[in-house]
Amino acid sequence: MAKRIDVKDLNVYYGAFKAVEDVTMTVEPRSVTAFIGPSGCGKSTFLRTLNRMHEVVPGGRVEGHVMLDDQDLYSPKVDPVAVRRTVGMVFQRPNPFPTMSIFDNVAAGLRLNGLRDKKRLAERVETSLRGAHLWNEVKDRLDKPGAGLSGGQQQRLCIARAIAVRPSVLLMDEPCSALDPISTQAIEDLIGTLKSDYTIVIVTHNMQQAARVSDRTAFFNLAATGRPGRLVEMDDTQKIFSNPTQRATEDYISGRFG
């Protein structure tokens, strides 16, 4: 189920502005890869190219290749909607659908993609909520609005919603930055179990978090504001945090800038 991502020579633009330049990297299946780097260096922008969400922004476009196993996501034959079914995403701010109950939120992706069978929906919702470590907290109030949950629960609800459509890859853009430490802990534990089934890419501004949850870490940087962000180096998380190759990485992780 989990798939490998191979990025080759990727440039990402907002209109005429080149936000990310010349990224080549490999993301291993069944592992957690963390993106770190100063804010504005294009982590979110790059992450969103991995499920073709970048082109939703007016003027957003991409040069280069993103291979999911053997398929080029940017080949003209590929439907971006289908890509997003395979590569799911969790956002910085929890964003459950406000008109829907907890159950309907998790079922939304399945229903909107045509699954009608009540029994199968209920099964998938339960599996997904269990998978997101939320089932025990919400099993007695599945018909209550999703917006009524706490921030941390909402974020786990969003994770349940994302895994309900059974993607191969899960992208997370600073999923804990709006959460308290307890909820953050819950999400980090969750990431630890999810990685046995999914390829996970997580953007975080919290370096301890990257060190705790990830197997591989990619450090992005930008030369100056207004210049495109670049991938400085990518390696095993342990290596990045103990003995990085690049001077800029060492400066960043030791807190000398950023």
Partner 1 sequence: MTIVDTGMDTAVQETRDGSARRRLTSGLGPKAAGRRVRDELARVVMWLAFLVALVPLVWILGSVLVKGGHMLFESTWFTHSQRNITSSDVGGGAIHAIQGTLIQGAATALMAVPIGVFTAIYLVEYGRGALARAVSFMVDILTGVPSIVAALFIYAVWVTTFGFQRVGFAVALSLVLLMVPVVVRSTEEMLKLVPNELREASYALGVPKWKTIARIVIPTAFSGIVTGVLLGLARIMGETAPLLILGPYTKNIATNLFSGNMATLPTMINQDRVEALQPALDRVWGAALTLILLILLLNVVGRIIARFGAVRT
Q: Which residues are CB-neighbours of 227 under 8 A, at least 6 positions away? A: none
What string of H, E and C letters represents the secondary structure of 216-243?
Answer: EEEEEEECCCCCCEEEEEEEEHHHHHHC
Residues in 38-97 that interact with ligand ADP by CB under 6 A: 39-45, 57
Q: C-alpha dihedral over 234, 169, 106, 156, to 10 degrees?
A: -20
Stretch 156-195: interaction string toward partner 1, x if CB under 8 A: --x--xx--x------------------------------
Judged by beta carbon, residue 57 or residue 82, the one nearer ligand ADP is: 57
Q: How far is the CB of 81 from partner 1 (least distance, A)?
A: 5
How many angstroms separate the CA atoms of 84 and 49, rounded?
A: 11
**With binding defined as CB under 6 A, does residue 19 bind ligand ADP?**
yes
> Regarding beta strands 216-222 and 32-36, do their DSSP bridges make them parallel or antiparallel, or are they unpaired?
parallel
User: Residue 179's CB: how many other CB atoms inside 10 A?
Assistant: 22
Q: How far is the CB of 7 from ligand ADP (least distance, A)?
A: 15
- The span of 14-22, 117-125, 163-171, 235-243 binding ligand ADP (CB under 6 A) equals 14-22
% helix, strand, coil for the chain, step of 5 = 40, 25, 35
**Closest residue to Mg ion, based on beta-carbon distance:** 44
The contact set with ligand ADP (CB under 6 A) reads 14, 17, 19, 37, 39-45, 57
The contact set with partner 1 (CB under 8 A) reads 51, 53, 56, 58, 81-86, 88-89, 91, 93, 95, 97-99, 108-109, 112-113, 147, 158, 161-162, 165
